[in-house]
Every structure is written in C-alpha cells, then in structure tokens.
C-alpha cells in the first residue's frame, strides 16, 4: 500500500498540491470547529419519520421510512438545513400528503434541537461548561497560529448565521475570523458556501493555491475543488445513533480532498507542510 501519511502523522496527503501560497482560509463550523450541535441527526431523523407517518397515508414501515430519511439527510448534510426540509416536503407530496412550507419544518426542527444544544450553550454562557471539549481538538490553537501568520480566516456554515455567530463567540473562536462569519439565511438563495468562496476569490483576485478550504463535509470540499483551491477534509467523529457519515473519511476523499486530518492535534505539522513551498 502506498504510504500517504505525512512523516508518521495521522495527516494523509492524497494529492500533490502547490504549497506555500495560502493567504486566505475558509472553515466550515459544525464538525470542523464546533461540536455543540453534535448529535443533531438524532433529532432531525425522528422528526421527519414522524412527519411522513402523520402527514401522509403511507403504508411503509417505520424502518423503511427511517432508512429513506437517513439516506437523503445524509446526502444533503453540509448544505443549508432548508434543503433537507425541501426534500422532506417533496417526500410528503410524493406520498399524497400536502406538505407545509419547508421553512415551517425547519423552524420545528430548530425548536426540537434547542433543548439538546441549549444545555451546552447555557453551560458555556454561564461558564459552568468548559469550551475545550466542545471544540474539535486543537482547532482554536490552529486558528490562533493562522492569525499570527496574518492569514485571513473566514467561517462559512450551513447552520443559521445568528446561531453560528453566537456559538463561535461562546467557543472563543469568533474573534479569529477577521474575514467574517457567514451562515444560512432565511432567504436561503442568498447564501451558499460556494458564494462565500467565490466572493473571496473575486475580492482578492486569488489563484487556487492562495485559498485553503477546511471542512468535514463533502459540500465544502467539492466547492474548493470547483475553484481549484486546496481542500483539507476533517474526518472528525460524529455521535449519532444511525451510524450516519461513518464513512466520512472515504467520502471526503471521494469529494476530492487533497489532505485528510482527524482533527487539529497535529496542526503545527500541517501548517509546516501547507506554508512551505
């Protein structure tokens, strides 16, 4: 087998890239920096199965519906949450039901997720819960190093922007995103990770090797490859009872990740590699 690990680290180099030019770095939030929303699938999947059961006359079994939902939720992860809700509406319609507006399902999902994340958020805000275990290991230190090197950092998340800003603040990472914090909007067509990336490229007239995208979802990795940017996939471990995204590492590689890391524990070595020509 080909040895792809960098100097006996857990850093995997999958493609030869042009190093030494990076000036801007875009981060995904959930699963890349934040673990606050870890376990969200445990809320979204049962809600959708329930909607399909109560809003249609389907005779499909609970297991069949669950497997359908797990499949499309998983496929759409990394895009704004609304896209998962649009698909739910379509599935309800396909089964003869009259779906509500996707935004109504999204509001309901946020309402149900709230108690799960609120405990963590309240604990962080009150100072009774330390931030460190709710950050992907060494992500803060990695960001700090980048800022010391005067590299511009941006946050782009499929979670609603007001939540992202608040949670980034509570995790102590917000101040490091000098380039801005971006997230999902109610007018969902006005935001996508691709739009953020394209704007940075246009504003600074960047070539691909000057831009680095870091994320744990195939969406941002594909977005990076579409513009020729360098893509680092974070194969972080997720806690959900459906075993969703269990093949995260393989998925990120398929999406075109140049480099795979499990987290930022070997961040210094990764920076050495990325910033030396």
Q: How far is the CB of 272 from Mg ion (least distance, A)?
A: 25
DSSP helix/strand/coil, 100: coil
Q: CB-wise, 56 or 245, nearer to Mg ion?
A: 245
Q: CB-wise, 121 or 156, nearer to Mg ion?
A: 156
- Name the residue number minimizing CB distance to Mg ion: 31
Q: CB-wise, 93 or 250, nearer to Mg ion?
A: 250
Q: How far is the CB of 30 from Mg ion (least distance, A)?
A: 4
Q: How far is the CB of 187 from Mg ion (least distance, A)?
A: 22
Q: CB-wise, 30 or 55, nearer to Mg ion?
A: 30
In terms of C-beta distances under 8 Å and separation of at least 24 residues, what long-range contacts does 183-191 make, across chains too?
183/29, 183/155, 183/156, 183/157, 183/158, 183/159, 184/80, 184/81, 184/82, 184/157, 184/158, 184/159, 184/160, 185/160, 185/161, 186/103, 188/80, 188/82, 188/83, 191/80, 191/161
Summarize as ranges the residues that interact with Mg ion (CB under 5 A): 28, 30-31, 216-217
Q: How far apart are CA 28 and CA 23, in angstroms?
A: 17
Q: How far apart are CA 26 and CA 181, in angstroms?
A: 10
Q: CB-wise, 38 or 266, nearer to Mg ion?
A: 38
Q: How far is the CB of 195 from Mg ion (least distance, A)?
A: 17
Q: How far apart are CA 103 and CA 91, in angstroms?
A: 15
Sign of the dihedral defined by the CA atoms of residues 38, 42, 43, 44, in that order: positive
Q: How far is the CB of 128 from Mg ion (least distance, A)?
A: 26
Q: How far is the CB of 166 from Mg ion (least distance, A)?
A: 17
Q: How far apart are CA 128 and CA 145, in angstroms?
A: 27
Q: How far is the CB of 234 from Mg ion (least distance, A)?
A: 8
Q: CB-wise, 52 or 173, nearer to Mg ion?
A: 173
Where do the H-state alpha helices sit in the chain? Answer: 41-54, 62-76, 81-94, 102-126, 139-148, 161-170, 193-204, 218-226, 248-255, 267-275
Q: CB-wise, 30 or 258, nearer to Mg ion?
A: 30
**Bridge-based pairing state of the strands 180-184 and 211-215:** unpaired
């Amino acid at each position: 087998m080909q040895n792809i690990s960098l100097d006996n680290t857990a850093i995997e180099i999958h493609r030869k890239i042009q190093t030494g030019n990076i000036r801007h770095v875009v981060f995904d939030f959930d699963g890349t920096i934040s673990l606050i929303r870890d376990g969200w699938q445990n809320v979204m999947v049962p809600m959708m199965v329930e909607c399909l059961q109560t809003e249609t006359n389907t005779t499909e079994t609970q297991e069949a519906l669950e497997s359908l939902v797990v499949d499309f939720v998983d496929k759409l992860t990394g895009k704004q949450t609304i896209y998962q809700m649009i698909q739910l509406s379509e599935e309800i319609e396909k089964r003869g039901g009259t779906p509500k507006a996707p935004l109504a399902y999204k509001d309901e999902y946020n309402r149900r997720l709230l108690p799960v994340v609120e405990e963590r958020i309240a604990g962080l805000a009150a100072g009774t819960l330390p931030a460190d275990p709710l950050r992907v290991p060494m992500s803060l230190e990695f960001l700090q190093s980048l800022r010391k090197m005067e590299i511009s950092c941006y946050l782009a998340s499929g979670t609603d922007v007001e939540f992202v800003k608040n949670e980034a603040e509570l995790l102590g990472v917000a101040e490091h995103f000098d380039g801005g914090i971006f997230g999902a909007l109610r007018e969902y067509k006005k935001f996508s990770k691709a739009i953020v990336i394209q704007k940075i490229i246009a504003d600074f007239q960047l070539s691909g090797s000057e831009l680095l995208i870091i994320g744990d979802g195939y969406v941002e990795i594909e977005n990076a490859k579409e513009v020729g940017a360098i893509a680092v996939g974070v194969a972080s471990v997720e806690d959900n009872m459906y075993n969703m995204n269990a093949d995260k590492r393989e998925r990120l590689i398929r999406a075109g990740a140049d480099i795979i890391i499990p987290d930022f524990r070997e961040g210094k070595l990764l920076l050495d590699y990325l910033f030396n020509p």
